[in-house]
């Protein structure tokens, strides 16, 4: 009988293996967590050449090789013990942390849920050390001939925790998280050579380079001439970094980076403050690129907040956030040559008509509204900020269509952006005769045909036998395209509209991998694509539903929309792709439709 049984004790100390697996649940959430921890170890070891290799998005293999200081046999074995670290020695060290790692939990946690092989050698040693661990248990320790530095290979992640492996996402999603980690490290350490290889294909090979060049290599060549540098030093915090021109803003998050003392971190309030500085030049749900670096005394920031070390607390949080926001606002205003006018009422803004503003972006108004965007909603005549809604006549001209203008009591014409009064809204111009105030489509019942009206350039109104039918033109077209795309994926010969001149588009590494995963479904929908080297794609044909000139925009927006739908488990991959395509290809609110277009849209909707 054990001592606990004799005394009746029910609380016992957990075995080390069980404790490590529990700790792994906090430290190792997915393959990207391992990549993050091992990259941080390589940086702390002083490496300037780091190579990352992955297979099956890290589920099968993760190997990180560096030319850092290496370890002797005793340190190599001790590194896999819990709370073993070379970074801190006392409590005082915890308040002046400059290294990336310090907890001493990562290697033991990783080893407990995978199979590991380690090769390491110090420069002064003749032979290196080779270790093999299986679920945290040491299987082999022997001398080996190897290069100076460290190479650690992690295989079969979560092989002994099937439930954790089951909850991993698709390879494209897991690779996206790995790319996010790699991009963060690459931005924070531009002085290092970094290589990322997936499925034996090199995704990135980055030499030491300035931050602007690194951004263009990571996110695309179009960023090179559209970056806004900034740097300010204050008594509280030094703030520096790069912003991208808001015209490059994406529909989804993923290109926003925060660093404090070289460490990537997340901070909801600071993120909100930074994004709000772009409000004058971006639309809703647009997220511009930024990389913001904060430098301050380590004693004034606590990095020991979260097991993943992604959250921090500032001693003077309010001032840090306010200073950062002010510096970014100053940089944006200088780039766009915006004078700072205090107490300026919105009604005094001159934002009617078309003009070029700051960086040469045509059609941008002072509130950031893009007159050429198909995403614009309808003009709201009931709004007190009439001047900020833009000139619908100008907006219509920029949409590339030439619809026949049919006078309407619901959408009366107006001049120079001046809002009509309430009487004109309901009854038309006081001087209008019945014939002038009502077009052919408004004379309902005279010729026995259905009447079609467009309400606020967003809704279609038509009569039925028993009353009126109100149709959201965007939602209706979205449903039509969704059903059509689904049917196309079930056909052997999809309908494709070949382009006269093929178009080439450069994607981010994560979008390129996602496209490869979805390529078969996308091509069945009518896209004719050819994957090229360097994350480039050649578009040779598109579905007939896509307007000419919008091929690139639809493809990139479709991939972004698919990522937003990944969390919806009720839809299979085919339906998600179809829904993403329909969401980005459907006609937008604010587009003027001819009567025959409205009739066709309503008929196709009820035929679904």
Closest CA to 409 of 383, 388, 385, 439: 439
428 and 284 share one domain: no
Question: Angle at Cα 279 formed by Cα 559 and Cα 549, nearest 5°?
Answer: 40
* Domain termination residue (choose one: 309, 336, 363): 336
Q: Within this chain, do residues 56 and 167 fall inside the same structural domain, yes or no?
A: yes
Are residues 82 and 104 in contact, defined by beta-carbon separation less than 8 angstroms? yes
Q: Which pLDDT score, from 0 to 100, does residue 195 have?
A: 96
Tell me, yes or no, whether 193 and 301 share the same domain: no
Q: What confidence score (pLDDT) does residue 573 get?
A: 84
8 pLDDT band, cuts 50/70/90, is: low
Pick the range with the lowest mean pLDDT from 70-74, 364-368, 489-493. 364-368
How confident is the model over 543-580, as pLDDT tens digits?
Answer: 887 877 788 888 888 888 888 887 776 788 888 888 88
Paired tokens of 130: 């080779």
Whether 197 has a pLDDT exceeding 50, the answer reads: yes
Question: pLDDT tens digit string along 425-473?
Answer: 333 344 333 333 333 344 344 445 668 898 888 999 988 778 888 999 9
By the 8 A CB rule, do 146 and 121 touch?
yes
12 falls in which pLDDT band (50, 70, 90)?
A: confident
CA dist 219 and 183 (Å) reads: 9
The C-alpha atoms of residue 390 and residue 416 are separated, in whole angstroms, by 10
Res 419: pLDDT? 43
Matching residue, tokens 């808001």: 246
Q: What is the pLDDT of residue 151?
A: 96
Element containing residue 197 per DSSP (H, E): strand 193-198
Q: Are residues 165 and 255 in the same domain?
A: no
Q: CA nearest 364: which of 282, 252, 419?
A: 282
36 and 167 housed in the same domain: yes
Q: Each residue of 280-313: pLDDT tens digit?
A: 899 888 899 999 999 999 889 888 776 667 788 8
Residue 462 lies in a domain: yes
Indicate left, alpha or beta for 417 from its phi (over 0: left) and psi (-120 to 50: alpha): left
C-alpha–C-alpha distance, residues 548 and 422, integer Å: 39
**590 lies in some domain:** no
Q: Do the Cβ atoms of 237 and 325 come closer than 8 Å?
A: no
pLDDT band at 99 (very low <50, low <70, confident <90, very high): confident
Together in a domain, 463 and 478: no
Provide the 8-state DSSP code for 96: S
Structural tokens at position 346 = 């919105």
DSSP string for 310-362: -B-EETTHHHHHHHHHHHHHHHHHHHHT----TT--GGG----S--EETTTEE
Domain of residue 568 covers: 474-585
Residues with Cβ within 8 Å of 118's Cβ and at least 6 positions away in sequence, in order, are 76, 129, 130, 131, 132, 133, 150, 151, 152, 153
**CATH code, domain carrying 264:** 3.30.230.10
Q: Are residues 228 and 173 in the same domain?
A: no
Bridging pattern class, strands 356-357 and 361-362: antiparallel
Residues 42 and 189 in one domain: yes
Domain-embedded: residue 393: no
Q: Which residue has the tokens 């091509």?
A: 523
Run of H or E including 165: helix 162-166
Across the range 187-198, mean pLDDT stands at 96
Let me know if residue 366 belongs to a domain: no
Could you give the angle at the alpha carbon of 299 between the alpha carbons of 295 and 302, nearest 5°? Answer: 85
In a domain, 274, yes or no: yes
Residues 86 and 199 in one domain: yes
112-166 tens-digit pLDDT: 999 999 999 999 999 999 999 998 899 999 999 999 999 999 999 999 888 888 8
420 vs 117, residue with greater confidence: 117
Token digits of residue 21: 């697996």
Query: Helices 31-44 and 171-188: crossing angle, nearest 10°?
Result: 20
Q: Are residues 313 and 433 in the same domain?
A: no
- Domain end, chosen from 316, 336, 356, is at 336
CB 390 within 8 A of CB 417: yes
Which of the listed residues 336, 358, 379 is the one where a domain comes to its end?
Answer: 336
**Number of H-type helices and E-type strands within the chain:** 18, 23
Q: Does residue 394 form part of some domain?
A: no
Report residue 29 as tokens.
């959430």
Classify residue 90 by its DSSP letter.
S
Per-residue pLDDT at 26 exceeds 70: no
Query: Among 66-70, 84-88, 406-410, which range has the highest average pLDDT?
Result: 66-70
Is 59:206 a contact under the CB 8 Å cutoff?
Answer: no
pLDDT above 90: residue 196: yes
**Which residues, 6 or more positions from 109, have their beta carbon under 8 angstroms from its beta carbon?**
20, 23, 24, 26, 27, 28
* Pair (78, 199) in one structural domain: yes
Domain count, the chain: 4
d(CA 275, CA 511): 23
| Mean local confidence (pLDDT), 584-595 | 87
Q: Establish if 377 belongs to a structural domain.
A: no
Other CB atoms within 10 Å distance of the CB of residue 46: 12
- Please report the pLDDT score of residue 317 as a whole number: 93
Q: Which contacts qualify for 3-9: CB closer than 8 Å, 24 or more apart?
A: none
Mean pLDDT within 592-601: 89
**What distance in Å separates the CA atoms of residue 400 and residue 247, rounded to the nearest whole number?**
20
CATH number, domain of 564, equals 3.30.1370.100
Q: Which one-letter DSSP state was computed for residue 13?
A: P
Q: Is residue 47 part of a domain?
A: yes
Q: What are phi and psi of 604, to 5 degrees?
A: -70, -35
Count the helix, strand and coil residues of the chain and give each as a percent rounded to the nearest 5. Answer: 35, 20, 40
d(CA 223, CA 17): 48
Q: Do 464 and 478 belong to one domain?
A: no
269-274-276 Cα angle (round to 5)? 95
State the DSSP string of 458-494: TEEEEE-SSSEEEEEHHHHHHHHHHHHHHHHHT-SS-
Q: Quick one: tokens of 601?
A: 């849209």
Between 324 and 507, the higher pLDDT residue: 324
Q: Do residues 108 and 23 lie in contact, with contact meaning Cβ atoms separated by under 8 Å?
A: yes
- Region of 526 (left: φ > 0; alpha: ψ -120 to 50; beta: rest) is left
DSSP state of 252: S
DSSP string, 139-156: EEEEEE---SEEEEEEES
Which residues, listed in sequence order, are joined to residue 266 by a DSSP beta bridge?
Answer: 311
b/e code 33-43 from CB counts within 10 Å (16+ = b): bbbbbbbbbbb
Q: How many CB atoms lie within 10 A of CB 404?
A: 9
Q: Which domain CATH number covers 115? A: 3.30.565.10
pLDDT digits (tens, 9 = 90+) for 354-409: 333 334 443 333 344 343 333 333 333 333 333 333 344 443 443 444 443 333 33
Q: Mean pLDDT across the chain, nearest whole number?
A: 79
Q: How far apart are CA 340 and CA 362, in angstroms?
A: 22
268, burial (CB in 10 Å: exposed 0-12, middle 13-18, buried 19+): exposed
* Number of residues written out for the chain: 608
Buried b (16+ CB within 10 A) or exposed e, 180-192: bbbbbbbbbbbeb
């Amino acid at each position: 009988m054990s001592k606990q049984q004799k005394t009746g004790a029910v609380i016992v100390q957990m075995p080390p293996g069980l404790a490590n697996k529990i700790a792994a649940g906090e430290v190792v959430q997915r393959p990207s967590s391992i990549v993050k921890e091992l990259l941080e170890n390589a940086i702390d070891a002083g490496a300037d050449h780091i190579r990352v290799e992955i297979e099956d998005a890290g589920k099968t293999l993760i190997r990180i090789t560096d030319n850092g200081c290496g370890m002797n046999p005793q340190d190599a074995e001790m590194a896999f013990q819990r709370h073993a670290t070379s970074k801190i020695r006392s409590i005082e060290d915890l308040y002046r942390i400059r290294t990336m790692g310090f907890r001493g939990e990562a290697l033991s946690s990783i080893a407990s849920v995978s199979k590991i092989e380690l090769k390491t050698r110090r420069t002064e040693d003749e032979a290196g050390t080779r270790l093999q661990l299986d679920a945290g248990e040491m299987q082999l320790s022997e001398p080996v001939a190897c290069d100076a530095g460290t190479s650690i290979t992690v295989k079969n992640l979560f092989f002994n925790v099937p439930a954790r492996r089951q909850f991993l996402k698709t390879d494209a999603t897991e690779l996206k998280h790995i790319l996010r980690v790699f991009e963060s490290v690459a931005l924070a350490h531009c002085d290092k050579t970094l290589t990322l290889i997936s499925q034996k294909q090199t995704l990135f090979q980055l030499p030491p380079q300035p931050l602007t060049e690194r951004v263009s290599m990571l996110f695309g060549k179009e960023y090179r001439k559209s970056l806004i540098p900034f740097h300010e030093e204050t008594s509280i915090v030094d703030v520096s970094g790069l912003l991208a021109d808001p015209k490059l803003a994406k529909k989804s998050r993923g290109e926003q980076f925060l660093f404090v003392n070289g460490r990537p971190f997340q901070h909801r309030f600071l993120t909100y403050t930074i994004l709000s500085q772009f409000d004058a030049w971006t639309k809703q749900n647009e997220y511009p690129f930024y990389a913001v670096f904060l430098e301050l005394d380590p004693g004034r920031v606590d990095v020991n907040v979260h097991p993943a070390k992604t959250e921090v607390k500032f001693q003077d949080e309010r001032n840090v956030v306010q200073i950062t926001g002010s510096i970014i606002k100053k940089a944006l205003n200088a780039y766009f040559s915006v004078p700072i006018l205090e107490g300026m009422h919105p009604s005094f803004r001159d934002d009617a008509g078309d003009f070029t503003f700051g960086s040469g972006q045509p059609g941008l108004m002072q509130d950031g509204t893009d007159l050429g965007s198909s995403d614009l909603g309808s003009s709201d005549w009931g709004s007190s900020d009439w001047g900020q809604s833009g000139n619908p006549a100008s907006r219509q001209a920029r949409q590339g269509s030439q619809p026949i203008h049919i006078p309407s009591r619901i959408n009366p014409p107006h001049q120079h952006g001046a809002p009509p009064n309430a009487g004109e809204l309901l009854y038309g111009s006081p001087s209008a005769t019945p014939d002038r105030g009502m077009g052919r489509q408004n004379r309902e019942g005279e010729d026995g045909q259905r009447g079609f009206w467009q309400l606020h350039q967003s809704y279609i109104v038509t009569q039925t036998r028993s009353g009126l039918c109100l149709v959201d033109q965007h939602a209706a077209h979205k449903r039509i395209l969704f059903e059509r795309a689904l049917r196309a994926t079930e056909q052997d010969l999809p309908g494709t509209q070949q382009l006269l001149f093929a178009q080439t588009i450069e994607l981010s590494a994560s979008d390129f991998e996602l496209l490869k995963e979805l390529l078969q479904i996308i091509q069945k929908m009518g896209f004719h694509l050819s994957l090229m080297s360097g994350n480039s794609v050649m578009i040779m044909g598109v579905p007939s539903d896509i307007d000419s000139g919008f091929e690139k925009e639809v493809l990139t927006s479709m991939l972004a929309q698919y990522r937003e739908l990944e969390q919806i488990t009720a839809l299979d991959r085919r339906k998600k792709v179809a829904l993403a395509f329909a969401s980005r290809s459907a006609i937008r609110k604010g587009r003027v439709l001819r009567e025959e277009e409205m009739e066709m849209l309503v008929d196709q909707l009820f035929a679904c």
